[in-house]
Amino acid sequence: MNTPGGHDPAVLDAARDWLAQDPDPDTREELAALVAAAESGDAAASCDLTDRFAGRLAFGTAGLRGELGAGPMRMNRVLVAQAAAGLAAYLRSAAGPDRNPVVVVGYDGRRNSDVFARDSAEIFAGADLDAVLLPRLLPTPVLAFAVRALGADAGVMVTASHNPPDDNGYKVYLGGDDDGAQIVPPADAEIHDEIARIAASVPVSEIPRSLAFRTAPEELVDAYVAATAAVAPAPAGAAGLNWVYTAMHGVGAETFLRAVAEAGYPAPVPVAEQIDPDGTFPTVAFPNPEEPGAMDLAFATARDAGAELVIANDPDADRLAVAIPDASVEGGWRRLTGNQTGLLLGWRAARLAASAADRPEGASLACSLVSSPGLEAVAGHYGLGFRATLTGFKWISRAPGLVYGFEEALGYLVNPETVRDKDGISAAIAILGLAGEARGEGRTLADLLDEFDRTFGFFASDQISVRVEDVSIIAGIMAALRADPPARIGETAVTRIDDLIDGFDDLPAGDVLRIWLEDGRRLIVRPSGTEPKLKLYLDVRGDSAADAQERLAALAAGARELLDALS
């Protein structure tokens, strides 16, 4: 109940309890100022406090992710300590009394990533786990590699990937039967329950800590680099390749450039302003290669260098963006969509699998259900299996017989025997291999895209994203669609709607609606798993490139009409 001054005594009590156990002077100062302001009747401070203490960040797509700050709805040292202690309890329970679980911890260059990683390693060691801390800030794929290479029971990567600068996160992987993949149900809920138990019963100051954790040897990073370079050793045509690389202020450059050199490719022209880690991301409003303007510096560098190709990683280097020269667009450079890059890499993987002397039984390609249906056409062409999964590499990486997987959000898994997650570094090596092979034949990646269309069909995709301040708006739109399903999208009748809320066929439950139109076009609606966005995915197949684009434009217009009617 709010007092006449506008503040809620229960929220203030929770904030004071939080202050008493917060080991971070910065967030203590931040929270103490908010409490004092709320007590003095500041309505904005009271509202801020209520938001921070409205619940707890819960395990989502792969763990925790949120804005840095004080309180249980923010990322901070209290929340991370409780998460580490809860994960330790889960691992200890799963391992039984006769085995000491191994857990490896990595971190990127975001603000507080190193602090959260060190806290976690100390708490894991304090719980008598065999805790291993990576030797320095490194890409997420190195952590995913380390889980398998060390035979670890679990791995934690402190990163918010491509999220805004003020975010951070806590991504969890499991070893053993999970083979180094990200967590899925029921493990996420079981870990969440352990975290909640710790948070309710043990002050952070009383969570045991120890300095008896290990630091992983440099040889572990060397092994990742060697395995990644082996994905696509440089073909003869790669000699003299003139290309540009940006790390987007992230941690990818050192590891990636080592793999580039070991694979035999010429060094790139770097985007100097973005090559070193910087958690403030000073040259981009949003450190995601998909966002408008994020690659402008890379394009400017490419124009100055007369480059043939641009490659970009996101800040933790688990995603890859590729751009090619295109005189028809403003600025002369065009970023390939995630589907275009994913289909090129899927075609490459299918050729390799089909021609392998020891082709694995049941070899299959996989992509999330919101990614291009073109991958299924590739799999069928080469006699491979195909799997569509829920969104996220925690699902893609578990596809039976997987030899390649991708997601349209710039995520690609090209070496599943090495890393069971999206890996923007190994995918970049594979793209360099394709570019080098094409170059040796006097062709380009644009020529490969044209050949793909002629071989498999003219697939076209688009996405509409609606960012909201209040996530309840998204829930309301999804509820409205279920209560009153559309009979038409634009001028075309809807023939079927697959609602995945309780699972569908062999897909587990998810908040997804898949809408099929009578002319074969597809519209998928789902909330984002990592951002306050509603996402609509549009896919068509045409008789020509022009036909596909025309059909896609009509579907996009119909989708926007649907959104307007629901707003």
CA 444 → CA 24, 206, 440, 451, distances in Å? 52, 60, 9, 11
Where the chain has pLDDT below 50, the residues are: 1-5
Please tell me the CATH code under which domain 55-215 is placed. 3.40.120.10
Return the pLDDT at 4. Answer: 45
CB neighbours of residue 106 within 10 Å: 32
Return the pLDDT at 469. Answer: 85
Return the pLDDT at 67. Answer: 95
CA distance 401 to 481: 36
Give the contacts of 466 (CB within 8 A, at least 6 positions apart): 474, 533, 534, 535, 536, 563
Residues paired with 215 in a beta bridge: 133
Question: What is the identity of the amino acid at 141?
Answer: P
**Number of H-type helices and E-type strands within the chain:** 17, 22
Instruction: Find the Cα–Cα–Cα–Cα dihedral 178, 399, 535, 525, rounded to 10°.
Output: -120
Return the pLDDT at 208. Answer: 98
Is residue 309 within 8 Å of residue 322, measured between CB atoms?
A: yes
Only one residue has tokens 């060390």, namely 150
Q: E strand or H helix at 103, and its extent?
A: strand 102-107
Question: What is the identity of the amino acid at 384?
Answer: L
Question: Of 191, 414, 437, 447, nearest to 320 (Cα)?
Answer: 414
Task: Kindly state the tokens that stand for 74.
Answer: 């923010």
Compute and round to an integer the Cα radius of gyration of the chain.
Answer: 24
Question: Of 159, 184, 185, nearest to 171 (Cα)?
Answer: 159
Residues paired with 104 in a beta bridge: 132, 155
Task: Kindly state the tokens that stand for 506.
Answer: 């062999």
Dihedral sign (CA 443, 444, 446, 449): positive
Q: Which residue numbers are catalytic?
A: 161
CA distance 519 to 489: 11
User: Residues in the chain, how many?
Assistant: 567
Return the pLDDT at 5. Answer: 47
What distance lies between CA 142 and its chain's CA centroid?
15
206 secondary structure, DSSP code: G
CB neighbours of residue 78 within 10 Å: 25
CA distance 90 to 198: 11
What share of the chain in percent tops pLDDT 70? 98
- Structural domain spans, the chain: 1-50, 55-215, 458-566
Is residue 535 within 8 Å of residue 541, measured between CB atoms?
A: no
CA 55 → CA 71, 240, 411, distances in Å? 9, 56, 31
Cβ neighbourhood burial of 100 (10 Å; 0-12, 13-18, 19+): exposed
Return the pLDDT at 62. Answer: 64
Task: Kindly state the tokens that stand for 61.
Answer: 């797509």
Cβ neighbourhood burial of 330 (10 Å; 0-12, 13-18, 19+): exposed
**CATH top class, domain 458-566:** alpha beta
CA distance 74 to 66: 6
Q: In what order do the strands lie in the sheet with 522-527?
A: 458-467, 533-542, 522-527, 513-517, 492-499, 488-489
Return the pLDDT at 98. Answer: 85
CA distance 320 to 338: 8
Return the pLDDT at 61. Answer: 57
